[in-house]
């Protein structure tokens, strides 16, 4: 069915398969060439992914980020009214790129099967229940969310082209175990269902029972599952987006604050975690991932959060926490090391280097940063195999753009020493460091084989054939480090 006054967004109860779009739809995509660089035939070759509850803050962020990465996206909503919410969160030009927007009830297994048909993976945001927080989260809501989780996994098993599901749970599914209150909360921890019922922690109960049901069903039906367990989602660009939905999460918030388990997560970064986890499934990623980027450990931080959420006293009132004047922080008792290992190499390197530059200027420390490519150690063939995977996330894009490079680890060490010695002659700043750019498919396959990561770079990449003698021009420059090495060896001025 075509929505009145909105020609390009189609809401249907039974979506067409990705390969069976009508001629009108095909022309519609072709007519958008100014905003979309690929032809329709190229689009059909992309992976078709389905995102549930695209009208929610997390769902809409997922949709936008997946589209920006070139995926072919189908979105489900609960009813046609949700479509208006979705249009407020997703721009017109992004809506135009969707394969379809589908009404699929989470309690209706058949409609979910139709929605998931032909998809390479399902992103179930688990946020279909009361997305605006108006009615509150009740024990009945927890039951409905658990039943929906079972339906999503079963529909994925029945209808999806590839049986993969990235399932949004919550940090709440791990933190409420009063018998082990002092242990560090990680992916092995589960909230105690009886404790949640006794204390009417309905959101925690619902997330716990829903995620457990998803794991049971996935094992039964052989669906490959990853669960992402984010903390309290925050949307700085939409300040009111999570104010109402935060109340169920923050039930018991004073206890969370006292125990060092009150955490939050930027919603955009949470969406990126989901995508990184999906892309890493080809290389063995699986299981649970706790996801947060901030732990509230001080009373003043709690008050700041209360003010932002317009919930004065919810966390600070009567809680046995340290005073604002106290410099000590409550020790954090939650760990996100597993998701950090999976995802954040590029972000970590960028933010760490920027922080180093800021601090060096502040404290007048003379600084040089060396930025090596993928480090290789031929004399120790297994030394970098495991550590290469985070670096090579997005490796196919690097290969296509001719920015995939490597650096012998011994020569990288020499660059560090030359840089130090050249500081007496004016050296400073950043130095990109690589000795080889991978510019051909056969070179990429050779690197894959050496790293024992078959298909990581070559699988599906739009690169030149092995028989083609031409190379993609290198788009990275190491002339500055070359000059550094020369100047250091000659004791010349290295000011550049």
- Residue 310 annotated among the catalytic residues of the structure: no
- Annotated catalytic residue, options 163, 207, 212, 269: 207
Q: CA 124, CA 76: separation in Å to the nearest integer? A: 10
DSSP state of 330: P
Phi, psi of 449 (to 5 degrees): -60, -40
Helix, strand or coil for residue 298?
coil
Which residues is 369 bridged to in the sheet? Answer: 430
**Does residue 446 contact residue 438 with C-beta atoms inside 8 Å?**
no
Q: CA 319, CA 255: separation in Å to the nearest integer? A: 8
Helix, strand or coil for residue 295?
strand
Helix, strand or coil for residue 166?
strand
Q: CA 125, CA 116: separation in Å to the nearest integer? A: 14
Q: Which three-class secondary structure string do you get for the chain?
A: CECCCCCCCEEECCCCCCCCCCHHHHHHHHCCCCCCCCCHHHHHCCCEEEEECCCCHHHHHHHHHHHHCCCEEEEEECCCHHHHHHHHHCCHHHHCCCCEEEECCCCCHHHHHHHHCCCCEEEECCCCCCCCCCCCCCHHHHHHHHHHHHHHHHHHHHHCCCCEEEEECCCHHHHCCHHHCCCCECCCCCCCHHHHHHCCCHHHHHHHHHHHHHHHHHHHHCCEEEEEEECEEECCCCCCCCCCCHHHHCCCHHHHHHHCCCEEEEHHHHHHHHHHHHHHHHHCCCEEEEECCEECCCHHHHHHHHHHHCCCCCCCCCCCCCCCCCCCCCCCCECCHHHHHHHCHHHHHHHHHHHHHHHHHHHCCCCEEEEECEEECCCCCCCCHHHHHHHCCCHHHHHHHCCCEEEEHHHHHHHHHHHHHHHHHCCCEEEEECCEECCCHHHHHHHHHHHCCCCCCCCCCCCCCCCCCCCCCCCCCCHHHHHHHHHHHHCCCCCC
**Does residue 173 contact residue 158 with C-beta atoms inside 8 Å?**
no
Catalytic residues: 207
């Amino acid at each position: 069915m075509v929505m009145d006054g909105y020609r390009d967004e189609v809401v249907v109860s039974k979506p067409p398969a990705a390969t069976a779009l009508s001629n009108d739809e095909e022309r519609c995509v072709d007519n958008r060439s100014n905003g979309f660089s690929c032809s329709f035939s190229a689009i059909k070759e992309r992976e078709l992914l389905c995102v549930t509850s695209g009208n929610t803050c997390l769902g809409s962020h997922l949709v936008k980020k997946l589209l920006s990465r070139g995926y072919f996206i189908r979105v489900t909503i609960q009813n046609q009214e949700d479509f208006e919410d979705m249009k407020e969160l997703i721009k017109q030009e992004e809506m135009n790129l969707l394969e379809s927007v589908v009404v699929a009830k989470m309690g209706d297994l058949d409609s979910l099967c139709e929605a998931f048909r032909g998809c390479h993976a399902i992103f179930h945001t688990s946020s279909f229940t009361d997305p605006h927080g108006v009615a509150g989260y009740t024990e009945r809501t927890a039951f409905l969310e658990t039943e929906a989780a079972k339906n999503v996994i079963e529909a994925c098993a029945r209808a999806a082209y590839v049986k993969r599901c990235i399932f949004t749970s919550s940090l709440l599914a791990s933190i409420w175990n009063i018998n082990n209150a002092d242990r560090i909360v990680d992916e092995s921890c589960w909230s105690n269902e009886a404790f949640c019922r006794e204390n009417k922690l309905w959101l925690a109960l619902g997330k716990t029972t829903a995620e457990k049901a998803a794991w049971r069903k996935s094992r039964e039906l052989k669906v490959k599952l990853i669960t992402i367990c984010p903390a309290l989602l925050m949307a700085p660009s939409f300040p009111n987006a999570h104010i109402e939905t935060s109340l169920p999460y923050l039930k018991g918030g004073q206890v969370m604050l006292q125990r060092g388990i009150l955490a939050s997560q930027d919603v955009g970064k949470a969406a990126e975690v989901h995508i990184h986890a999906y892309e890493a499934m080809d290389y063995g990623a699986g299981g649970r991932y706790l996801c947060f980027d901030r732990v509230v450990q001080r009373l003043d931080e709690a008050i700041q959060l209360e003010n932002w959420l317009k919930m004065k006293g919810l966390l600070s009132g009567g809680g046995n926490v340290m005073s604002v004047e106290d410099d000590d922080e409550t020790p954090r008792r939650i760990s996100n090391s597993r998701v950090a290992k999976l995802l954040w190499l590029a972000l970590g390197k960028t933010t760490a280097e920027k922080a180093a530059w800021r601090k060096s200027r502040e404290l007048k420390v003379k600084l040089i940063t060396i930025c090596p490519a993928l480090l290789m150690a031929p004399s120790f063939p297994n030394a970098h195999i495991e550590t290469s995977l985070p670096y090579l996330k997005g490796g196919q894009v690097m290969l296509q753009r001719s920015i995939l490079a490597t650096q012998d680890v011994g020569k990288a060490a020499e660059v560090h020493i030359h840089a130090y010695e050249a500081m007496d002659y004016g050296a400073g700043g950043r130095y990109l460091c690589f000795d080889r750019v991978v510019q051909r498919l056969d070179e990429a396959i050779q690197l894959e084989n050496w790293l024992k990561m078959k298909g990581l770079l070559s699988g599906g990449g739009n690169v030149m054939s092995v028989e083609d003698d031409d190379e993609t021009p290198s788009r990275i420059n190491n002339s500055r480090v070359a000059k550094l090495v020369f100047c250091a060896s000659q004791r010349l001025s290295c000011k550049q």
